[in-house]
């Protein structure tokens, strides 16, 4: 069963853990956060505090608690009244010869049936708690992914803005070249077309950001995105631990740990099914009054069912198969989690490999090429087509890097949500 410390640790991670998915919120110099902006830790805190799915999970725990409470209830005693030898004929006319009996009976469950029901109820409560904890981590992961999506979209808009500014910088130079006859007047239209196409891409990116902001707001329990710009930095990366170490951490995932409680619940239900044929004892004690003679007498009774025809074989079979199904569900859930973590891990590794040539060669080279061609264009050594091509290459290279960073951080968020612990990456900023 989960300890209080383990539960607190996992919940704390889901709420405010500043792990690899959260490191992006802090710039190296820890610049102050502007009013109205949103950081990842704040988004996570709001999400786990207000998400209605967690409220439903709380109700599931309360429902299971009610079942456990009811499972421990002792059967109520029964009070009965009997009237014999009355309202007949002859000597038994009216109530002259009536016999009245007032009796109290109590059922005593034998074989530990009540204890087995309580054990099943207790395990159901633990199962519900683990399910809610798994839901907290799931919501934290969804919130982190939505946050990173918005952050990535903001960065794409900045990249397009930079390209538009670069295109606008060459317009005066182009105009001067046209005036001296070094360029055709049609090149103004070509440059304007290039700028308009980038503006169209920027508007598409803004639409994507607006949609992602609504998804983030919904994760935080908001009807509309009542927050400003997101504060974060997706630049830093780090190498993950070996996949085998991640798999070991996966065993602590609440989605798997809850099967411990579910097994206990199914075992208790199977025991209850096997105990059901054991006869329960019903004791009764009563008082009988003979109206005809005025005498009184005590009546004592003992009864139990004879398990001749019903051995609850069907119930035992059902409980046994439910227990076996739990093992199959555990194996299926574990396989699904391993597959999801494996995909995220491969995506993470692939993103790092993609970033290596981009950061090591492509980005520095494209920066030098842009500087050289822009300078050469002012001197008349390059054509408009060449400068438009290198600016577009610079933009696509920056977007390619941004997409790889997005894949990296979303993969980290996925893995940490499924393992419930931080990856412990050694973080470093690119030069």
Residue 295 included in any domain: no
**Which pLDDT score, from 0 to 100, does residue 180 have?**
65
Comparing 33 with 122, the larger pLDDT belongs to: 122
Q: Is the pLDDT of residue 193 over 90?
A: no
Indicate the pLDDT class of residue 330, thresholds 50, 70 and 90: very high
- For the ranges 22-26, 39-43, 63-67, 178-182, which has the lowest average pLDDT? 22-26
Question: What count of other Cβ atoms lies within 10 Å of the Cβ of residue 351?
Answer: 21
Residue 325 included in any domain: no
- Rounded to two decimals, what is the model's pTM? 0.76
> Could you give phi then psi for residue 101, rounded to 5 degrees?
-130, 125
Q: How many domains does the chain have?
A: 1
DSSP symbol at 75: P
Q: Is the pLDDT of residue 325 over 50?
A: yes
Residue 283 included in any domain: no
Q: How do strand 281-290 and strand 295-303 relate by DSSP bridges?
A: antiparallel
As a whole number of angstroms, the distance between CA 349 and CA 242 comes to 11
SS3 sequence, the chain? CCCHHHHHHHHHHHHHCCCCCCHHHCCCCCCCCCCCCECHHHHHHHHHHHCHHHHHHHHHHHHHHHHHHHHCCCCCCEEEEEEECCCCCHHHCCCCCCEEEEEEEEEECCCCHHHHHHHHHHHHHHHHHHHHHHHHHHHHHHHHHHHHHHHHHHHHHHHHHHHHHHHHHHHHHHHHHHHCCCCCCHHHHHHHHHHHHHHHHHHHHHHHHHHHHHHHHHHCCCCCCCCCCECCCCCCECCCCCHHHHHHHHCCCHHHHHHHHHHHHHHHHHHHHHHCCCCCEEEEEEEEEECCCCEEEEEEEEECCCCCCCCCHHHHHHHHHHHHHHHHHHHHHHHHHHHHHHHHHHHHHHHHHHHHHHHHHHHHHHHHHHHHHHHHHHCCCCCHHHHHHHHHHHHHHHHHHHHHHHHHHHHHHHHHHHHCCCCCCCCECCC
Residue 391 included in any domain: yes
Residue 138 included in any domain: yes
Q: Tokens for 318, please give them.
A: 């059902």
Residue 373 included in any domain: yes
**Which pLDDT score, from 0 to 100, does residue 76 have?**
93
**Which pLDDT score, from 0 to 100, does residue 426 have?**
54
Beta strands in 304-410 (DSSP E): none
To the nearest whole number, what is the mean pLDDT of the chain?
Answer: 83
Indicate the pLDDT class of residue 51, thresholds 50, 70 and 90: confident
Helix, strand, or coil here: 237? strand
Angle at 66 between CA 60 and CA 67, to 5 degrees: 90
Q: Is the pLDDT of residue 22 over 70?
A: no
Q: Is the pLDDT of residue 7 over 50?
A: no
**Which pLDDT score, from 0 to 100, does residue 184 have?**
67
Domain limits for position 348: 4-72+115-275+331-419
- Which of 85-89, 221-225, 340-344 is the most confident on average? 340-344
As a whole number of angstroms, the distance between CA 431 and CA 428 comes to 9
CATH number at residue 154: 1.20.1600.10
Q: Say which residues have a Cβ less than 8 Å from residue 121's Cβ, sequence separation at least 6.
A: 64, 67, 68, 69, 70, 71, 72
Q: Is the pLDDT of residue 33 over 70?
A: no
- For the ranges 98-102, 168-172, 352-356, which has the lowest average pLDDT? 168-172
**Which pLDDT score, from 0 to 100, does residue 182 have?**
61
Q: Is the pLDDT of residue 226 over 90?
A: no
Give bridge partners of residue 261 from the DSSP assignment: none
Q: Say which residues have a Cβ less than 8 Å from residue 426's Cβ, sequence separation at least 6.
A: 238, 239
Residue 106 included in any domain: no
Average pLDDT of span 128-144: 89
Residue 292 included in any domain: no
Q: Is the pLDDT of residue 16 over 60?
A: no
Question: Whole-angstrom distance between the N-terminal and C-terminal Cα of the chain?
Answer: 47
**Which pLDDT score, from 0 to 100, does residue 421 have?**
75
Cα–Cα separations (whole angstroms), residue 128 to 131, 328, 333: 5, 19, 16
Give the pLDDT confidence of 337-392 residue by residue, as tens digits: 999 999 999 999 999 999 999 999 999 999 999 888 888 877 777 777 888 899 99
Cα–chain-centroid distance for residue 41? 16
């Amino acid at each position: 069963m989960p300890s209080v410390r383990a539960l607190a640790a996992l919940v704390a991670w889901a709420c405010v853990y500043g792990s690899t998915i959260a490191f992006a919120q802090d710039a190296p110099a820890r610049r102050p956060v502007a009013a109205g902006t949103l950081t990842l830790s704040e988004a996570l805190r709001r999400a786990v505090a207000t998400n209605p799915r967690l409220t439903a999970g709380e109700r599931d725990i309360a429902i299971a608690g009610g079942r456990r409470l009811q499972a421990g209830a002792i059967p109520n005693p029964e009070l009965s009244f009997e009237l014999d030898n009355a309202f007949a004929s002859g000597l038994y006319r009216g109530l002259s010869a009536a016999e009245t009996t007032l009796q109290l009976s109590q059922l005593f469950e034998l074989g530990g049936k009540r204890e087995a029901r309580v054990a099943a109820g207790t395990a159901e409560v633990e199962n519900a708690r683990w399910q809610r904890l798994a839901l907290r981590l799931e919501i934290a992961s969804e919130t982190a992914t939505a946050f990173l999506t918005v952050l990535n979209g903001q960065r794409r808009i900045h990249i397009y803005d930079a390209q538009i500014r670069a295109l606008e910088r060459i317009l005066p130079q182009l105009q001067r070249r046209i005036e001296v006859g070094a360029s055709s007047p049609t090149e103004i239209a070509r440059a304007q077309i290039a700028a308009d196409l980038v503006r169209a891409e920027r508007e598409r990116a803004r639409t994507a950001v607006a949609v992602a902001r609504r998804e983030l707001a919904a994760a935080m329990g908001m009807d509309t995105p009542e927050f400003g710009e997101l504060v974060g930095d997706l630049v830093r990366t780090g190498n993950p631990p070996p996949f085998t170490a991640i798999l070991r951490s996966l065993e602590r995932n609440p989605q798997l740990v809850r099967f411990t409680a579910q097994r206990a619940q199914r075992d208790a239900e199977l025991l209850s099914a096997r105990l059901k044929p054991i006869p329960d004892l019903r004791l009764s004690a009563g008082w009988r009054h003979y109206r005809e003679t005025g005498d009184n007498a005590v009546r004592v009774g003992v009864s139990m069912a004879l398990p001749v025809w019903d051995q609850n074989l069907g119930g035992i079979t059902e409980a046994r198969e439910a227990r076996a199904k739990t093992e199959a569900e555990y194996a299926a859930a574990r396989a699904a989690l391993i597959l999801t973590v494996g995909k995220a891990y491969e995506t993470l590794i692939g993103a790092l490999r993609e970033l290596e040539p981009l950061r090591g060669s492509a980005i520095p080279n494209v920066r030098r090429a842009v500087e050289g061609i822009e300078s050469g264009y002012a001197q008349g050594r390059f054509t408009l087509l060449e400068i438009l091509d290198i600016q577009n290459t610079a933009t696509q290279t920056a977007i390619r890097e941004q997409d790889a960073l997005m894949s990296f951080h979303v993969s980290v968020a996925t893995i940490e949500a499924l393992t419930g612990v931080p990856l412990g990456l050694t973080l470093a900023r690119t030069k």
